[in-house]
Structure 1
Amino acid sequence: MVPQQDRTEKLVSLTYALLTTRVGYTRTQLRTMVDDYQDLSEDAFERKFERDKETLRNLGVTLVDGKGRRDHGSLDSENERRYRILAEDYQLPSLELGAQEAAVLGLASSVVAGGGLGLQAARAAERLGVDARSDQALFSPRIDGGEEHLEPLIRHVSASQPVRFEYRTANGRESTRTVMPWGLGHRHGHWYLAAGDTARDGERLFRLDRITSSIARAAPKASDHIPDAYGRPDRFSMAAALDRLERSSPTRTARLLAQGVSGGTLAARAVSRTDGADGVELAVEYADEADLAREIAAEGVRVLAPASLAAAVLSVLDDAVAGVSAPAPRYKLSRHAGGRASAEQTVSRALDLVAFVVQRGGASIDEVMERFGLDRDELEAELTRLRFCGVPNGQHDELLDVEWDQETVSITNAQVLSQPMNLSLVEATTVLMGLDALASAPAGALSADSARAVEQLSARLRGLRPELADFDRIIAVRAAARESGPLVGELAQAIDERHPVRLDYAGRHARSQRVVEPVRLMDVGGRSYLQAWCRLRQGPRTFRLDRMVSAETLSEVFGVDDARVRAVRGAPFEPDAAAPEAEVLWGGAWADAAHAHHPERTGKSAEGMVSTIRVRDHDHLVRLAALSGGAVRVLGPEAVRDGVLAALEQRRQAASLDVEAIQTVGQTVGQTVGQTAAAKTETTTEAGKN
């Protein structure tokens, strides 16, 4: 029996062979040439060949027949059909970028970060020849690309293929949904799928973090059939679907007391603030009592009215205390890793490595290791594999000629692979998502030249692949800064013109007034931030826009201090390796939030996912436990858990006193009203007698 062939070697060799042939290869020829196809039954060969073609299509490699007709993946019984790859389809067209366009495209390539999509965006930037960095930009949005369902849904949405998945609603009900996907969008820190839903007879939006199963293509059978009426409407717009996701208009007003705390987001959006002997009284408008109760519990604010809100806050804190107090389940943690690289990733890297070396006529070992993130052993393994690549079972002059020593590496007989490969559908989509996020920024966040470059680049990238023609209708990404109104534009102008800003800021622990020298605006995790040099603390600081009670641009113009700017831009946004570590259980829907905290180790328990995360202080863990109503539980270390529990107990005790105080006031008012009514009745009776 022929030994199983390395799949990366097989797919690189297939790509090389199909690029070098002028007339193409038939299925029969490929089955004879490729070791991995030999000794297979007809059905097994068909399945493996179709799987390999699908992998190449996912990489952006288009197969055509001998007459140049595209292969779309349908099974073909004509064994004499010939397959080849056209150089013009394989190679990335030159975009001839100017300096401004290259900077904007590099920034756009950095927007989608983390997870599989983040890797795809980084690969796209490397092929496009741009620097995927955001540290020099005035406005830098960042959107999580770690959502596991994104990549398959991009392909299904593009191909209008019906899908099936398990879905959990906001109230916890789970069901199987079979839908026709129309579009994907990001807003308020969440990814959404718009689809024609047969179960609900119309358009529905699904939050991707509430999909509890893998995404499966719906089988062509009666139970999964999607009528044509549920296909994407001609006038469908994902941007319009996102625009309908407006937050509910407030219908009630709560009276709150920030006592010994800043009030955080509540203080920032209060419609009025009144200083008193016991603290700052806040008037906060709201629509959803449950959401406000969780926010109040997280911020540690007291409730003065209404009574129902005070009771809701107490209930949230009861659940949080019960959750953290509960015995820890059994679990075992292991080092968190991105998982084994897929064939698409390894084939893409191998082809990119060949192009990188061939274009330069050879490269240094150190240069190749740095470019592809490989150590020396990994690079030598990669080069050894490439030595076996070429026309399958071909002659010596039909194989790649790969040579290396301690200093340099060279690859010859690979001219057909010397140009960068065209972007795949997913790679191009990640960059277009970044451009869309930039385009959605409020006025002033981008310069006029950058805004024009965004529009022009979007049009040019959509022309790279035919599947991208409808991108502007089916994909939409909204920057979080869009929700901050004119504040973002005002801060962007202050950055551009180097004006200090006086902030009234409700921080995690206290409210303060300070003057800062603004450097950069960022969007991360559905929130907007200002990074600045703080004159009060004499160091770099990061400020959440939704905690800014006020921001006043001063007339002063500050001089550029390169050391300060470098310190601000280089300040770690996430907790570093020296930050305290905690073991946290993520129950229910909160399991989806775990990856946003960059877990170092993960494990499973009967009650949910467990991970280790690093936090700047214990207050963040208190907030998580309160916001989740106990679904997020701190398991250890013991001292950290005890500290979080003590803080929650203190907040619960205060919430209990608030409920009692409101009830007492109500009873007093009721007694006063009753006594007044009785007195009026008595007076009326006496008057009647007279």
Structure 2
Amino acid sequence: MSAKRTERLLTLVIMLLSSRRGFTKEDLFSEIDLYREATSSAAREKLFDRDKAALREQGIPLESFSEDAMFDNDNTVQRYRINAEDYRLGGVSFLPEEYAVLNLAAGVWDQGSLDSAASRALRKLSSRSTDGDVELTPLIQPRITTDAPYWDIVWQALTSRSPLRFPYRAASTGREEVRTIHPWGMGARFGHWYVVGYDTTREAERFFRLSRMTGEPVVLGGTFEVPASFDMNRTLSSLSRTEPDRTAVVAVRPGSCQVLRVRKDTEVTRTGQEWDLLRVPYAASSPMAATIAGLGVNARVEEPQELVTEVARLLDGAYEAAGKAPRDLEITDGVRPAPRRKASSQDHLLRLLDLVPYLLAHPGAEIGETARRFEISESQLTKDLDLLFVSGPRHYPDALMDVNIEDGRIYLSNARDLAEPVKLSMDEACSLIVGLQALQELTGMRDNEAIVSAQTKLSIAAGDAARIGNAVATKLTEDDLDPTLEVLQAALQGGVRIAVDYFVPTRDEITHRLLEPIRIFLHQDTWYLEAWSTEANGLRNFRLDRIQSARLTEEPATAGRDEVSLARTRRTSSPYRAAEADQTVTLVLEPSARWIAAQYNAEAVQELGEDRLAARLRVASSAWIPGLVAGLGGSAAVSAPNAVREETLRWLEAARAHHALT
């Protein structure tokens, strides 16, 4: 980033805020030394145009006007100012418990588009929080991810109210068509992000799943109005999963295939020494066929024939891919770090504009604590303070800020024009408003008074930006999980153990466990319970959708406090725990199966060209790997170790022969 450009932008903001009458360009060029350093008048003009655009891009309300209406279109007599009322955050203050739930709301965003916006919003509101530190450790920890394809582009069209055009493959027909919509809202449900809007071709409101866009969307010119009655929360609630409308008759070996037996409304119509017969409802052939293919020789479809054919196709594809997979592929790239956006002068400017009101609201703030709050190093904070000291109009030295550091504490004065935080931008408002809505949906928090009052005050503080609360929504839990969540929440609050029946797909069995719950967290749209297992005498993670039953006991939880504290304070959560006895398996993934790397927390990945990926997974047992690749039908194959590769080939060969008997 350029410190000179940041200084120039900050000085420009200070000057434009200081006068209701505003300044001409010549006034500004005269007062701000860094404009006079331009090599020519044309370069100076271009520099000023870039700076105006940068301020407006960051939501700073820079106005241009003429004192004489006859010269409105004459740039040479234009005056510029920042309207202080439009610039400053609404005058509300938050109680400690309200600021604590705002912290929780900011924390629900996973690293991505709105994660940094949430941090900026909290910094601004911190100067409006009354004294009294209140920290909440949520027992239920939701996470919202924004890693869906083209999320940022759709967000840009939504917030600017610009039409959007994109190629799209419909699930119902499989055909690819170019669609043009007026995006009214975005929402996340069932593990997917959707955009909702007016389809200009169908002339009706339509849902579109971002992952079904087959190419990069284009933001078009023009604008539109969103119907006053539109509410994304209500619209998202109307979206439902496809209900089962078909039934499969499946023969399964006794005691096996629990994944089919525990499905809702499955019927056991016959039992026998060699085979049980199940009637299993399902909605779509592809996921059902993948499930049955993954069961290998323990299941066989009796009817319908289309499902028989689909299972055979998956097994043939998996076997062919397994034979062609390279042997013992070595990954050399290591783990890819998450991409970090390069900091810009605009980012630096926003931090400085947040820093000034924070320091004025907290006189004597300690350097280390301030640096941590702004997520920068102490040396960077010192540079920021030096920049504040020198920024301002040169001909008015009494207008410069005074910065003093005494005994490691910061004192700032003479900064009246920057004393109030900048109003919340659209993405900042969205991050907290939607975060609070997500928290309020959770079992045990629906009637939380602090959340309700924080929502009300936040809407006032956000002003016009608060409209985003009707345009973005998430639904992180479904009704079928609520009973389990209620039991787990009661156990967490009461500090007692729970007894659960738990389905273990890798061993194809239902086990009985005695657990001491520690927290509930969301990862990749799947809810997990982190608990102390009395049988294993250690921490384990359990998927909530695999808990068949859960009941409270009267036995107190006795897990070690250090383990519990460690688990509760982790910012990021992964359902997979490494152990010394773990082994590694390297898979070759086709484009449609790249999600495996993220879903199973690959410890290393490497691009192979043509959008194929090699991923090395750490697993406690490799017994479930053949079933995984079978269900993927050739989109994944084992490369290493060779013993697992050969075992997978034998497993697939036997499964193909078994299903060929149908």
User: Quick check: TM above 0.5?
Assistant: yes
- Is 2:526 the counterpart of 1:524? no
Cα pair distance change 1:194/1:326, threshold 3 Å? farther
Aligned AA for 1:649?
Answer: L
Match of 1:659 in 2: 659
Once the two structures are TM-superposed, the CA of residue 52 in structure 1 deviates from its matched residue by 1.5
Once the two structures are TM-superposed, the CA of residue 53 in structure 1 deviates from its matched residue by 3.4
The answer to whether the 8 Å contact 2:117/2:431 transfers is yes
Cα pair distance change 1:390/1:43, threshold 3 Å? closer
Match of 1:687 in 2: none
Once the two structures are TM-superposed, the CA of residue 476 in structure 1 deviates from its matched residue by 1.8
Q: Secondary structure at the match of 2:422?
A: coil
The answer to whether the 8 Å contact 1:110/1:132 transfers is no
Once the two structures are TM-superposed, the CA of residue 426 in structure 1 deviates from its matched residue by 0.3
Give CA deviations for 1:554-610 in whole Å, capped at 9, x if unaligned.
Answer: 452525656264365367535478887777665445557766677787765531164
Q: How does 1:184-199 map to 2 (within 5 A)?
A: 184-199=186-201
Once the two structures are TM-superposed, the CA of residue 542 in structure 1 deviates from its matched residue by 1.8
Aligned AA for 1:514?
Answer: R
The answer to whether the 8 Å contact 1:500/1:515 transfers is yes
Q: Secondary structure at the match of 1:373?
A: coil
Q: Secondary structure at the match of 1:661?
A: coil
Once the two structures are TM-superposed, the CA of residue 312 in structure 1 deviates from its matched residue by 1.8
| d(CA) in 2 for partners of 1:350, 1:22 | 23
- Is 2:14 the counterpart of 1:19? no
Give CA deviations for 1:223-264 in whole Å, capped at 9, x if unaligned.
Answer: xxx8x7xx5334333234323331222123332537887745
Once the two structures are TM-superposed, the CA of residue 290 in structure 1 deviates from its matched residue by 0.7
Match of 1:136 in 2: 137
Aligned AA for 1:655?
Answer: A
- Is 2:376 the counterpart of 1:368? no
Cα pair distance change 1:42/1:127, threshold 3 Å? closer
Match of 2:425 in 1: 424
The answer to whether the 8 Å contact 1:239/1:476 transfers is yes
**TM-score where L is the length of structure 2:** 0.80
Match of 2:611 in 1: 608
Cα pair distance change 1:647/1:523, threshold 3 Å? farther
**TM-score where L is the length of structure 1:** 0.77
Once the two structures are TM-superposed, the CA of residue 322 in structure 1 deviates from its matched residue by 4.1
Unmatched tracts of structure 2, length 5 or more: none
Match of 1:284 in 2: 280
The answer to whether the 8 Å contact 2:99/2:454 transfers is no
Match of 2:310 in 1: 312
Match of 1:464 in 2: 461
Q: How does 1:121-200 map to 2 (within 5 A)?
A: 121-129=118-126, 136-147=137-148, 149-170=150-171, 175-200=177-202
Give CA deviations for 1:500-531 in whole Å, capped at 9, x if unaligned.
Answer: 33211112423311122334333332222222
Match of 1:547 in 2: 546
Once the two structures are TM-superposed, the CA of residue 194 in structure 1 deviates from its matched residue by 0.6
- Is 2:493 the counterpart of 1:496? yes
Once the two structures are TM-superposed, the CA of residue 188 in structure 1 deviates from its matched residue by 0.7
Q: Secondary structure at the match of 1:436?
A: helix
2:242 to 227, 248, 260: 248
| d(CA) in 1 for partners of 2:174, 2:380 | 46
The answer to whether the 8 Å contact 1:507/1:547 transfers is yes
Once the two structures are TM-superposed, the CA of residue 191 in structure 1 deviates from its matched residue by 1.0
Cα pair distance change 1:39/1:266, threshold 3 Å? farther
- Is 2:47 the counterpart of 1:52? no
The answer to whether the 8 Å contact 2:254/2:275 transfers is yes
| d(CA) in 2 for partners of 1:614, 1:419 | 50
Q: How does 1:270-669 map to 2 (within 5 A)?
A: 271-272=266-267, 283-298=279-294, 302-306=299-303, 307-323=305-321, 326=324, 333=333, 335-383=337-385, 385-391=387-393, 396-401=397-402, 407=408, 411-441=412-442, 445-447=443-445, 449-450=447-448, 452-510=449-507, 511=509, 512-551=511-550, 553-556=551-554, 558=556, 563=561, 565-566=564-565, 568-569=567-568, 573-575=574-576, 587-590=590-593, 605-608=608-611, 610=613, 615-617=618-620, 625-626=629-630, 628-632=632-636, 638-639=640-641, 642=642, 645-646=645-646, 648-662=648-662
Aligned AA for 1:252?
Answer: R
Cα pair distance change 1:27/1:118, threshold 3 Å? same
The answer to whether the 8 Å contact 2:541/2:575 transfers is no
Match of 1:101 in 2: 98
The answer to whether the 8 Å contact 2:90/2:460 transfers is no
1:8 to 2, 6, 12: 6
Give CA deviations for 1:154-191 in whole Å, capped at 9, x if unaligned.
Answer: 45324422123444555876554432111111101111
Once the two structures are TM-superposed, the CA of residue 287 in structure 1 deviates from its matched residue by 1.3
| d(CA) in 2 for partners of 1:387, 1:281 | 79
Cα pair distance change 1:189/1:643, threshold 3 Å? farther
The answer to whether the 8 Å contact 2:92/2:460 transfers is no
Q: Which moved more, 1:427-436 or 1:204-213?
A: 204-213
The answer to whether the 8 Å contact 2:124/2:358 transfers is no
| d(CA) in 2 for partners of 1:483, 1:67 | 62
Instruction: Quote the sequence identity (%).
Output: 27
Cα pair distance change 1:211/1:457, threshold 3 Å? farther
Q: Secondary structure at the match of 1:465?
A: helix
Once the two structures are TM-superposed, the CA of residue 324 in structure 1 deviates from its matched residue by 5.4
| d(CA) in 2 for partners of 1:529, 1:201 | 42
| d(CA) in 2 for partners of 1:177, 1:331 | 40
Aligned AA for 1:315?
Answer: R
The answer to whether the 8 Å contact 1:597/1:613 transfers is no
Aligned AA for 1:63?
Answer: L
Once the two structures are TM-superposed, the CA of residue 429 in structure 1 deviates from its matched residue by 0.2
The answer to whether the 8 Å contact 2:112/2:146 transfers is yes
Give CA deviations for 1:389-409 in whole Å, capped at 9, x if unaligned.
Answer: 334x65544444556699555
Unmatched tracts of structure 1, length 5 or more: 69-74, 221-225, 663-690
Q: Secondary structure at the match of 1:341?
A: coil
The answer to whether the 8 Å contact 1:261/1:509 transfers is no
Q: Which moved more, 1:577-586 or 1:186-195?
A: 577-586
| d(CA) in 2 for partners of 1:384, 1:82 | 30
| d(CA) in 2 for partners of 1:422, 1:96 | 14
Aligned AA for 1:292?
Answer: M
Q: Secondary structure at the match of 1:21?
A: coil
| RMSD, matched Cα | 4.3
| d(CA) in 2 for partners of 1:242, 1:631 | 32
The answer to whether the 8 Å contact 2:90/2:462 transfers is no
The answer to whether the 8 Å contact 1:263/1:299 transfers is no
Cα pair distance change 1:661/1:121, threshold 3 Å? same
Q: Secondary structure at the match of 2:556?
A: coil
